[in-house]
Amino acid sequence: MMDRVTVLTGGVGGAKLVLGLCHALPADNITAIVNTGDDFTHLGLAVSPDIDTLLYTLAGKANPVQGWGRADESWNFMEAVRSLGGVDWFALGDGDLALHVLRTQRLRQGEALSAIVAGFAASWGIRARILPMSDDPVATRVMTDAGEIDFQHYFVKLRCAPKVRQIRFAGAQAARGAPGVVEALRDERSRAIVIAPSNPFLSVDPILAVPSIRQALLETRVPVVAVSPVVGGEAVKGPTAKIMREMELEVSACTVARHYGELLDGMLVDARDPPTSLDVPEARADTLMKTLEDRIRVARAALELADSLRKVR
Amino acid sequence: MMDRVTVLTGGVGGAKLVLGLCHALPADNITAIVNTGDDFTHLGLAVSPDIDTLLYTLAGKANPVQGWGRADESWNFMEAVRSLGGVDWFALGDGDLALHVLRTQRLRQGEALSAIVAGFAASWGIRARILPMSDDPVATRVMTDAGEIDFQHYFVKLRCAPKVRQIRFAGAQAARGAPGVVEALRDERSRAIVIAPSNPFLSVDPILAVPSIRQALLETRVPVVAVSPVVGGEAVKGPTAKIMREMELEVSACTVARHYGELLDGMLVDARDPPTSLDVPEARADTLMKTLEDRIRVARAALELADSLRKVR
């Protein structure tokens, strides 16, 4: 068995798990398939929030407090934008702008997002593979009691205030997996496919909405395990729990496992959670990832669960 | 006679004179027609160096030491660009990026450069009018012993090292004056049209290469006076003197006056210069502009020269 692992991930929480995996195993063995449904154009710049969180986290440049953006960031650009009457609800740090400006330039020159991201990762000495789920545009759109809203407007500008009724992923049906994505999922020599503890509805679902990715997950013989984003009846971070309640779902690992349904072979559930009755095997661990040690521990627990599933298959 | 004054100007030196004029007269009366031959696209961003120097200078945001860019600038963007293998020979400051990003976005949305610049100036409370010479693209290209080179490559990347043989302004023949430019030059109620002590070949010639601007200057009855960029046989700043020598011209106010030829009605020559024999009336003053008082003094001297010419006509 090879120690190759593929992770489906959104931003902050998922990036922590990917970092843990990169320490639990040789980092070259890790492939992260990253949500691009949050990508949008702001001030004319192509912004890929989840991709960039992966880049910053794996390069050791992430801001450890706010969970997004760069450490030691400065904000002179935003201040000047504000002085010129430009929109300022989405904060772009001075150093962070480099990714957006270079990405925008290269996209306009016809380069694929996946190739651009691979170049960024190489420049920063990142050994894990960071793959956008697709080079084709997919846009997460949130149907709310205030109408249909672009993801970043919902998430950042409106701070998730409107009540969510439904979420759709414009362009997903026609999107192809980026080069390497389906190959990684179909690589039978892999040890595990891990669904990170990212928001199932906003961060993982856009990935699963790409038909070739869903198909590969349904057909693979590699164990697919999810790390539950719910800890003791609450989501660790972000609007996961709020959205689940608005969609009249119980905030529990069980709901998340049912949501992934037949794609899933097992789930890592937080040790604090009440007893569950999942349709798939579960393992328990402290899934809170505050320190690097936590991240490595959760990564190892997810891998052990996958290993146990492989044995019984 | 109205106190309206129109200035043809490049960046640094010209901006100083425009600032002096804004203090010598009500700033609302000043129209600066600014060279855009230096404009270029860098990292996918539309950069207008001379326009921006005017904006920063008149808004009190200019860096007083380097002569371009913003005061109190930070450079985290450039450092991140470098870490990603991006080109770094043209430095874009963090705060400075706001102008480039917003300009690029608005140009792509179809807005004219002149309208964008007017918006920037209004946001910063600038009362003088800053007009790009044209909304149509004009590109200064330098024919050198190392071949034909884009202006910024010649000026910044190669630090003016190649020997200049000739300079051309691609697109100038088809370019129209931006809205307000020809009107300002043809406004017979003006007190003066001033050619700033910018580089005649690199900064003023691109403006004069726009046919409707040249025609308006030839036909106006308003006195056209130049402030000589030569002080004691040397240019105050930049490659003016070097270029004049390479083009086998004597580095003198006389050469500059002859270069402007029939467009010119008078020239303000530095008090330190040797006696000249210009084809137009001259006045003398200390034309070095180190302090704000210097700038106001030079502005007043140029206006007095223009007034004297009006009387004798």
| Predicted confidence (pLDDT) at residue B93 exceeds the cutoff of 60 | yes
Among A22, A39, A40, which Cα is nearest to A31's? A22
Q: Where are the alpha helices (DSSP H) in A199-274?
A: 205-208, 211-219, 240-246, 253-260
Q: Which residues of A touch B45 (CB under 8 A)?
A: 101
Strand partners, B164: B144
pLDDT for A282 equals: 96
| Predicted confidence (pLDDT) at residue B313 exceeds the cutoff of 50 | no
Do A95 and B102 count as a contact with CB atoms less than 8 A apart?
no
The mean-pLDDT minimum among A227-241, B12-26, B178-192, B197-211 falls in A227-241
B221-237 pLDDT per residue, tens: 999 999 999 987 777 77
At residue A237 the predicted structure's pLDDT band, cuts being 50, 70 and 90, is confident
> What is the number of other CB atoms lying within 10 angstroms of the CB of residue A185?
24
The mean-pLDDT minimum among A130-139, B156-165, B179-188, B252-261 falls in B156-165
Residue in A45, A79, A85 closest to B123 by CB: A85
Do B95 and A77 count as a contact with CB atoms less than 8 A apart?
yes
Strand partners, B202: none
Tell me how close the Cα of B119 comes to any Cα of chain A, in angstroms.
8
Residue in chain B lying closest to A85 (CA) = B123
At residue B63 the predicted structure's pLDDT band, cuts being 50, 70 and 90, is confident
**Which tokens sit at A14?**
């998922």
Do A81 and B101 count as a contact with CB atoms less than 8 A apart?
yes
Task: Judge contact between A108 and A100, C-beta under 8 A.
Answer: no
| Predicted confidence (pLDDT) at residue B312 exceeds the cutoff of 70 | no
Amino acid sitting at position B198: S
Strand partners, B267: B226, B282
Average pLDDT over residues B84-103: 96
Do A77 and B79 count as a contact with CB atoms less than 8 A apart?
no
Do B44 and A86 count as a contact with CB atoms less than 8 A apart?
no
Residue in chain A lying closest to B117 (CA) = A84
Give, rounded to a whole angstrom, the gap between the first and last alpha carbons of chain A. 15
**For residues A251 and A241, what is the distance between their CA atoms, to the nearest angstrom?**
6
| Burial class, B276, CB count within 10 angstroms (exposed 0-12 / middle 13-18 / buried 19+) | middle
Domain boundary assignment for chain B = 5-312
pLDDT for A69 equals: 87
The mean-pLDDT minimum among B115-124, B164-173, B175-184, B232-241 falls in B232-241
pLDDT for A313 equals: 47
Residue in chain A lying closest to B86 (CA) = A102
Classify A169 as helix, strand or coil: strand
Question: Radius of gyration (Cα) for chain A, nearest Å?
Answer: 19
Residue in chain B lying closest to A76 (CA) = B95
Q: What percent of chain A has pLDDT over 90?
A: 86
**Which tokens sit at B7?**
């200035």
- CATH code: domain B5-312 is 3.40.50.10680
Average pLDDT over residues A121-136: 98
pLDDT for A1 equals: 52
Average pLDDT over residues B91-111: 97
Average pLDDT over residues B174-189: 97
pLDDT for B236 equals: 72
At residue B22 the predicted structure's pLDDT band, cuts being 50, 70 and 90, is very high
At residue A67 the predicted structure's pLDDT band, cuts being 50, 70 and 90, is confident
A12-45 pLDDT per residue, tens: 889 999 999 999 999 999 999 999 999 999 999 9
Residue in B43, B79, B123 closest to A95 by CB: B79
Q: Tell me whether strands B30-34 and B129-132 are parallel, antiparallel or unpaired.
A: parallel
Average pLDDT over residues B164-175: 96
Task: Judge contact between A63 and A69, C-beta under 8 A.
Answer: yes
In chain B, beta strands by DSSP E: 5-9, 30-34, 40-42, 45-47, 129-132, 139-144, 147-150, 164-170, 192-195, 224-227, 230-231, 234-235, 266-270, 282-285
A297-311 pLDDT per residue, tens: 999 999 999 999 975
Optimal mutation site among A45, A48, A76, interface B, most CBs of chain B within 10 A: A76
| Predicted confidence (pLDDT) at residue B213 exceeds the cutoff of 50 | yes
Task: Judge contact between B209 and B178, C-beta under 8 A.
Answer: no
Q: Which residues of A touch B96 (CB under 8 A)?
A: 80
| Predicted confidence (pLDDT) at residue A152 exceeds the cutoff of 70 | yes
User: Across chain B, what does the average pLDDT equal?
Assistant: 94
Tell me how close the Cα of A187 comes to any Cα of chain B, in angstroms.
31
Q: Which residues of B touch A120 (CB under 8 A)?
A: 84
Q: What percent of chain B has pLDDT over 90?
A: 86
pTM greater than 0.90 (yes/no):
yes
Residue in chain A lying closest to B88 (CA) = A98
Average pLDDT over residues B252-276: 95
Residue in chain B lying closest to A41 (CA) = B105
Tell me how close the Cα of A90 comes to any Cα of chain B, in angstroms.
14
Q: Which residues of B touch A83 (CB under 8 A)?
A: 98, 123-124
Q: Where are the alpha helices (DSSP H) in B25-91?
A: 49-58, 76-83
Tell me how close the Cα of A220 comes to any Cα of chain B, in angstroms.
36
Do A97 and B94 count as a contact with CB atoms less than 8 A apart?
yes
- CATH code: domain A5-61+113-312 is 3.40.50.10680
A246-291 pLDDT per residue, tens: 999 999 999 999 999 999 999 999 999 998 889 999 999 999 999 9
**Which tokens sit at A57?**
């986290």
